[in-house]
Amino acid sequence: MPVLTINGEQRELQFAEDTPLLWALRDELAMTGTKFGCGMAMCGACTVHVDGQPTRSCVTPISAVAGKSVTTIEAIGEDAVGQQVQQAWNQLDVPQCGYCQSGQVMAATALLKSNPNPDDAAINAAMSGNICRCGTYNRIRDAIKLAAKAVQS
Amino acid sequence: MNAKTPKQMTPEVAISNISRRRLLQGFALSGLVLAVGVPGVLLAGDEPEKFGRDAMPHGWTDDPLVFVAIMADGTVKIVCHRAEMGQGVRTSLPMVVADELGADWAQVEIVQAPGDEPKYGNQNTDGSRSMRHFFMPMRNVGAAARMMLEAAAAAHWGVAVAEVKTGVHEVLHPQSGRSLGFGELAEAASKLEVPERDQLQLKTAEQFRYIGKGKTHLVDGLDMVSGKAIYGIDVTLPDMLHAVVARPPVLGGKVVDYDATEALKIPGVLKVVTIPGSPPPAYFNPLGGVAVIATNTWAALQGRKALKITWDHGEHASYNSPQFRAEMEQAARVKGGAVVRDEGDVYRALENAAQTFSAEYYLPHLSQAPMEPPVATARIVDGHCELWAPVQDPQAGRDLVARWLELDADKVTVNVTLLGGGFGRKSKPDYMVEAAWLSRSMDGQAVKVTWTREDDLHHSYFHTVSVERIEAGVDGDGKPVAWLHRTVAPTILSTFDDSALVKMPIELGMGVVNVPFAIDNVRIENPEAKALTRIGWFRSVSNVPHAFAIQSFVSEMAAKLDRDAKDYLLEVIGPPRQLNPAKLLDSWNYGESPEEYPIDTGRLRRVVETVADKASWGKSLPAGRGQGIAAHYSFVSYTAAVVEVEVDEDGELSIPRVDIAIDCGPAINPERIKSQLEGAVIMGISLAMLGEITFKDGAVEQNNFDGYQLSRMADAPAEIHVHIVPADDYDVPLGGVGEPGLPPIAPALCNAIFAATGQRIRALPIADQLEPA
């Protein structure tokens, strides 16, 4: 059975090894913050960090993350950058339905960790894998810039 | 929008006229003090004709005992009875109550109402109606509760009520400097009579602390960015099972037979069962099919993949989109069909016109595609079915589940979760019936049925497909004298009556029959079109194709007449005047009174002028750039947009800026109005650029977000500017907000493309139609 670290805690998963991490998180561990949107890595709703890298959990079998460290939306607030991202989202009231925002926050946090001061082109490039059907893109852009400022100060 | 036909929907219960009286029962919360549930105090049905909230099934109530509970510790619990799907209703409606009540927002908790319209009034969250219909009832709720607290305080101090006043979360006696917190007063207040409606003292606008300010953060905002918010798909119950369903690929198809041998070998798969289909009309019934029930979602999905099913596709297997389009175009090109408005003599006026124009526009099917696909969880305990679902119309789900399980509606409880988007899809609760049916097949064990993205795209209630043909004539001065519009599209009514071939009033009233132009000869014809899939409402509904055609056409005329598009649009709208929708042969007017809600061309002009001014309409732009404008009346609000585009040498389009103006009457929560319009801009760009669902041999061809594309971050405009036209005061009737922003976007975008390139787009999506320079 794959053993991995999820939000700093070692977990042994019982589900079949080909099960995508998304469904193991949601159905086995009842960690439902990570969302299902497409099942094909096309919408980004399921984004988690695997060893710090933004990863689509819907197409990542749990066997592929054995021994690795997974961070989900439930724990991203414990990260200094993640916390600033959450605060910026709240300050600008980014969400509408909010369903995609777990993935948006995870993608934005990963972006700011690799590029602390992204311009519009960098934001567009990093965030275009995450669909928001409500259309909060402009606020997401603004919130990323706001979070970038907060992280730098 | 909703298309309830009386024979299929719950008959409106006899509306009772219960006098307001003292009652003490909780609304199913523990520990509450002032809180008391009664069957709602509903309006008596004296009036011969009812409009607005009075005309909605189960009407409305403003009983504070239904909506407010104040705990001894001062916590104020406020019920939100409408579904949250991104419009911010869980913030905005309780905010209205809190303001009138005098509550401190930091001490407010929101309680989501289950589906129970006899208690809460209408809960069908669509048609851009929540604030429009419940602003006043929620003000009454807050004011009544505040007056009860004041009466309790006055009694406690032995002073006249007139001597006390409410501060923030406390009642004050200024003369003596005494004060009592809401929590301290709650128990005593709960024993008092609820004031009569005509005795309520509402706040004045100057006294508002939250209403109209737009400073109230989303109640669910932090939960949404920390994984704590619970959507329908997140519901987790003890011993819950997971199901997916293989549904007939073609509407009306049936399972001939199936082999589940391999599916049952998948570890975790427990059972394979059939769900019966239903004879037409489709209504909100499930499509039927073969369900795989497993211990987890992935196992269920693997099981479904292993099923061997033989389908009988039925008669709709003949549905092919290119052929259907050709048939609709044919129908649009000949005189005929239902004549739904006919003023003057349009055919003669066209003959006599100095110049005539004609154009034809095509819009394909669309799918709402909320990011959270349809999903529902059900369990049955002791003959009581309890469901959890992201649902816009919980009462419809409740009634339908009751019918399928042959239970009384009071044996069905519908808990409304957050909706991960709705856009009209989740007002059709077919997925709830599936969950209930599957729970019953597992002897009542909890079952969650999850739709995949493929399921969602294949089995939507699709936005209709349409051909709009317009012919117009002008006199020697370019003034329009004739307007002939033929509108062809399968009707939503077909979902409720499969013999329906022409549009129903609510579709015609979405901008085509009630076109408010200053033209003497107007004729609207509606040739027949047979629906070959489930047609349903999609955000803004028929306003999308109607506005696209009409607002593109006006700009086309302007260009051919060498007139400025904005000036010509204003000329076609004509001088400010108040038009009775009924006189435009719109019998519906979004359910609102034609006297209270006339079509006001002055307001339509004002949003055009506002947006043009804010967008610096007519500013000089480099080659390859252009501005387009469009305006539309929908959901009793007025919107206009200016889109600025840049098309490069390769035909690649980008959008430097969008301005959108709305006049929705009083702006109760301007911050959420702004966000709704920003979202409408993105959705409008998305459907204009990319959106298309097509059918081949009766089945949808798009499977996921590769085939059915949606706008992404890189496609979003560099800037969106929202301009809210202020209302004179809070007595101006409220308009809708969630939907009116969408209709002007696609035509403004295509008008901008024309301005930038000279290329006219008449069929959506734009996709790869843009030509290299």
pLDDT, one tens digit per residue, over A87-138 is 999 999 999 999 999 999 999 999 999 999 999 999 999 999 999 999 999 9
> Which residues in chain A are closer than 8 Å to B452, comparing Cβ atoms?
39
B432 and B412, same structural domain? yes
β-strand pairing of A47-50 with A53-56 = antiparallel
B404 and B340, same structural domain? no
pLDDT average, residue stretch B404-412: 97
B415 and B527, same structural domain? no
Does B676 reach chain A within 8 Å, measured CB to CB? yes
Whole-angstrom distance, CA of residue B232 vs CA of residue B617: 44
Is A40 within 8 Å of B233 when comparing Cβ atoms? no
Residue B764 lies in a domain: no
Phi, psi of B586 (to 5 degrees): -100, 105
B361 and B378, same structural domain? no
**Nearest Cβ partner for A93 among B217, B226, B423:** B217
Residue B330 lies in a domain: yes
- Among residues B656, B652, B708, B660, which one has the least CA distance to residue B684? B660
Residue B35 lies in a domain: no
What ipTM was assigned to the predicted interfaces of this complex? 0.99
Question: What whole-number percentage of chain B has pLDDT above 70?
Answer: 94
pLDDT average, residue stretch B129-149: 98
B493 and B541, same structural domain? yes
B188 and B311, same structural domain? no
Whole-angstrom distance, CA of residue B435 vs CA of residue B447: 6
Strands (E), B527-652: 578-579, 599-600, 625-634, 637-647
- Reported as a single tens digit per residue, the pLDDT across B63-95 is 999 999 999 999 999 999 999 999 999 999 999
Domain A3-75, CATH among 3.40.640.10, 2.70.180.20, 3.10.20.30, 3.40.630.10 = 3.10.20.30
- Characterise B371 by phi-psi region: left (phi > 0), alpha (psi -120 to 50), beta (else): alpha
B278 and B182, same structural domain? no
- Reported as a single tens digit per residue, the pLDDT across B542-577 is 999 999 999 999 999 999 999 999 999 999 999 999
Does A67 reach chain B within 8 Å, measured CB to CB? no
- Reported as a single tens digit per residue, the pLDDT across B684-712 is 999 999 999 999 999 999 999 999 999 99
Count how many pairs of residues, chain A against chain B, have C-beta atoms within 8 Å: 195
pLDDT average, residue stretch B286-298: 98
**Nearest Cβ partner for B227 among A43, A73, A89:** A73
- Reported as a single tens digit per residue, the pLDDT across A3-47 is 999 999 999 999 999 999 999 999 999 999 999 999 999 999 999
Residue B478 lies in a domain: yes
DSSP character string of B21-69 = ------SS-TT-SB----S-------SSS--HHHHSTT-B---HHHHEE
Q: Which fold has domain A76-152?
A: DNA polymerase; domain 1 (1.10.150)
Question: How many domains are there within chain B?
Answer: 3
Residue B607 lies in a domain: yes
Residues 407-466 of B with CB under 8 A from A: 418-423, 450, 452-453
Whole-angstrom distance, CA of residue A34 vs CA of residue A25: 8
Does B297 reach chain A within 8 Å, measured CB to CB? yes
Task: Determine the Cα angle at B518 with ends B517 and B519, to 5°.
Answer: 95
Q: Which residue of A has its CA nearest to B717?
A: A138
CATH assignment at residue B255: 3.30.365.10
- Among residues B492, B484, B530, which one has the least CA distance to residue B510? B492
Question: What whole-number percentage of chain A has pLDDT above 70?
Answer: 100
Is B373 within 8 Å of A36 when comparing Cβ atoms? yes
Identify the residue among A29, A35, A36, A47 best suited for mutation to test binding to B, counting B beta carbons within 10 A and taking the highest. Answer: A36
Whole-angstrom distance, CA of residue A140 vs CA of residue A25: 26
Q: pLDDT-derived band of residue B47, with 50, 70 and 90 as boundaries?
A: low
Q: CA torsion sign, B765 to B767 to B771 to B773? A: positive
pLDDT average, residue stretch B363-376: 98
pLDDT at site A153: 86
Provide the residue ranges of all domains of chain A, joining segments of one domain with +: 3-75, 76-152
Name the residue range of residue B426's domain: 232-315+374-450
B185 and B286, same structural domain? no
Task: Determine the Cα angle at B76 with ends B72 and B82, to 5°.
Answer: 145
B746 and B687, same structural domain? yes
Predicted confidence (pLDDT) at residue B31 exceeds the cutoff of 70: no
B609 and B579, same structural domain? yes
Distance of CA B656 to the CA centre of its chain: 28
Does B372 reach chain A within 8 Å, measured CB to CB? yes
Distance of CA B608 to the CA centre of its chain: 24
The three-class DSSP label of residue B224 is helix
The amino acid that residue B186 corresponds to is A
pLDDT at site B14: 26
Give pTM, 2 decimals: 0.95
Q: Are B106 and B139 in contact (CB under 8 A)?
A: no
Identify the residue among A42, A57, A96, A128 best suited for mutation to test binding to B, counting B beta carbons within 10 A and taking the highest. Answer: A96
B190 and B335, same structural domain? no
Residue B12 lies in a domain: no
Residue B309 lies in a domain: yes
pLDDT at site B1: 39
Higher pLDDT, B3 or B237: B237
Is B370 within 8 Å of A20 when comparing Cβ atoms? no
> In the beta sheet, which residues pair with residue B763?
B362
pLDDT at site B2: 41
pLDDT at site A3: 94
Predicted confidence (pLDDT) at residue B762 exceeds the cutoff of 70: yes
Residues 231-290 of B with CB under 8 A from A: 231, 233-234, 236, 242, 267-268
B633 and B546, same structural domain? yes
Locate B206 and state its tokens: 């100057």
Locate B731 and state its tokens: 């007595």
Kindly report the length of chain B.
773
